[in-house]
Amino acid sequence: MQRVNLSAVSEFVFVGLSDAPEIRLLLFVLFLLIYLATMAGNITLLIAISTDSHLHSPMYFFLGNLSLLDLLCPTITVPKMLGALLLEHKEISFSGCLFQHFSLIAVVGTEIFLLAVMAYDRYVAVCHPLRYPSIVSTKLCAQLALGTWATGLLNSLLHTSLVFTLSFCGPNRIQQYYCDFPPVLALSCSSTHSTELVILVVAGVLGSGACVVTVVSYICILLEILARKSPGIWHKAFSTCGSHLAVVCLFYGTTIYTYVRPSSTYSPQWDRVVSMLYGMLTPLLNPIIYSLRNKDVKCALKRVISQVRRAL
C-alpha cells in the first residue's frame, strides 16, 4: 500500500545549541564570523577560477563545483541557527523542514560523488600525464559534473520522500539545529525500520561506490609512485593529491559517522558537534587547503584581491 502522510505536526522546534543568553551571544558572533569567512573564501576562489585563464583546467573546474557546494552547505543551515541564537526563533514549518532536509542531503550527496570524481581526475593526472588532456576532456568534465549533481538530487529526493511520508503526531522538538534525518526520524510515531533499511542500503551502495572509486584511484597512484622510483616523486605526488586527500578524510569521516548508521546509536549532543565539522568547518577549510600548496591558485587570488582593492 502507498504510504500516506498522516502528519499532525505543522512545525518543528529546534533544541538549539545553548539556552544561556551570554553563551548564545558568544556562539552567534563565533558562527557568524565562520560563516562570513566561509562565504568570502569560497566566493573569492570561484571568482579566481572563473576569471583566470591559468585555472581553466579540469582540476579547477571540479574545484569550482566544490566551492559552490561549500557555499550552499552552510547557507542551508547556518542562517536559521543564527536566528535561533540571536532571536530565539527556533521554529520551522513542516514544509520548511522538508525543503531544508532535501537541500542539505542533496548538497552532501553531491559533494561525496564530486570528491570521487576529483580522485579519478588526480589518478589520471599522476598515472597518465601525457594522455590527461585527451582522457579528461571538456565534454567528460561536464558529463561528470552533471552526473554528480543529478545523482545527489535523486538520492535526496528518495531520502526526503521516505522520511516525510511518515506520520508525525507527537513530539516536535528536533534534537539538532537543523532538519537532519536521524533526529527527524526519532520523532515519527510510525514504524521507521523499513525506512531506515532502505536509506541505509541506498546510502551504503552509493557511498560505497564513491569510496571505492576514491580508494582505488589512490591505490593506483601509490602503485605508480612505487613503480617509478624517481627522485622527488613523493613530493610531486603529495603536492598534486595532498589537498584532495585531506578534504576526503575530513568530509567522508564525519559524513559516514553521521548518516551511515542506525538511529539507535544516535547521540544528540555529540552529533551536533560532528555535524558542525562537515557543515561549517569543512566548507571553511576547503578553499584554505586547496590554496596553501597551490601556486597558481595563490597567484590568481592575489590578482583578484588587487582588482577588488583598485575597484574600491
Least confident of 7-16, 230-239, 256-265: 256-265
* Positive/negative CA dihedral, 258, 263, 267, 272: positive
Residue with cell 521507521: 192
Higher pLDDT pick, 99 / 298: 99
Identify the band that residue 185 occupies on the pLDDT scale cut at 50, 70 and 90.
confident
Mean pLDDT of the chain: 82
**In whole angstroms, how far apart are CA 36 and each of 40, 59, 239?**
6, 26, 28
Report pTM. Answer: 0.84
Identify the band that residue 5 occupies on the pLDDT scale cut at 50, 70 and 90.
very low
Least confident of 58-62, 115-119, 133-137, 173-177: 173-177
Domains of the chain: 12-259+271-311 (1.20.1070.10)
> Is pLDDT at 112 greater than 80 in this prediction?
yes
* Positive/negative CA dihedral, 72, 76, 80, 81: negative
* Positive/negative CA dihedral, 169, 174, 178, 182: negative
Least confident of 3-17, 97-111, 131-145, 240-254: 3-17
pLDDT at 228: 76
pLDDT at 7: 47
> Is pLDDT at 110 greater than 70 in this prediction?
yes
pLDDT at 307: 78
> Is pLDDT at 139 greater than 90 in this prediction?
yes
Identify the band that residue 207 occupies on the pLDDT scale cut at 50, 70 and 90.
confident
Identify the band that residue 6 occupies on the pLDDT scale cut at 50, 70 and 90.
very low
Higher pLDDT pick, 62 / 299: 62
Q: Please compute the mean of the pLDDT values over residues 94-103 and round it to a whole number.
A: 91
> Is pLDDT at 3 greater than 50 in this prediction?
no
> Is pLDDT at 232 greater than 90 in this prediction?
no
Q: Please compute the mean of the pLDDT values over residues 67-81 and round it to a whole number.
A: 91
Helix/strand/coil (H, E, C) string of the chain?
Answer: CCCCCCCCCCEEEECCCCCCHHHHHHHHHHHHHHHHHHHHHHHHHHHHHHHCHHHCCHHHHHHHHHHHHHHHHHHHHHHHHHHHHHHCCCEEEHHHHHHHHHHHHHHHHHHHHHHHHHHHHHHHHHHCCCCHHHHCCHHHHHHHHHHHHHHHHHHHHHHHHHHCCCCCCCCCEECCCCCCHHHHHCCCCCCCHHHHHHHHHHHHHHHHHHHHHHHHHHHHHHHHHHHHCCCCHHHHHHHHHHHHHHHHHHHHHHHHHHHCCCHHHCCHHHHHHHHHHHHHHHHHHHHHHHHHCCHHHHHHHHHHHHHHHHHC
> Is pLDDT at 24 greater than 70 in this prediction?
yes
